[in-house]
Structure 1
């Protein structure tokens, strides 16, 4: 059986590579658009909108990691027989990450409105 730690490590490596690749390709695309100097107002608004969309990105990932860590701490306090063959730890972690997303959503919703 595959260990949960192995799955998390592999997923984080692939996720990091994907995020890095997306960031680099977006940077080169934007730089090429700016260097062409043939930008209409609509293109300029798209470029600036994309730059400002990351305003709360660090907050989102901080909250998700915070609530994910809290979930792991809760799992550590479960009795041993519930951690072995049960899906309860996965459910606890999913609920805590969902709380992180919901907290982020409500914080950003109040800031944007």
Structure 2
């Protein structure tokens, strides 16, 4: 079942689920990429790519990737702000920039993929 087979309400429910999934993967990736550098960075980028590609396959359009990517980006931006006391999740190294720019690049790649053929068609 692809995005074109879904009703309007079910499609919006998918987008909401993908938005939350993007937030969760962005948050987990932010924690993992710094904790186990460089393997954690690769793991975080692979997880982000899996969510973006899965969103593309599940919905069949770019809006699914945009929903997951928006949730991912919101989580990353909010975690990068830090607190007034000076505590921040990102330490300001090359790993954080690779995670941010690499994740955005993977989201754009998944969003601009050509339409995939349906199995058995």
Q: Same fold (TM over 0.5)?
A: no
With the length of structure 1 as denominator, give the TM-score of the two structures: 0.35
Higher radius of gyration, 1 or 2: 1
With the length of structure 2 as denominator, give the TM-score of the two structures: 0.34
> Which fold has the larger relative contact order, with Cα–Cα distance below 8 Å and residues 6 or more apart in sequence?
2
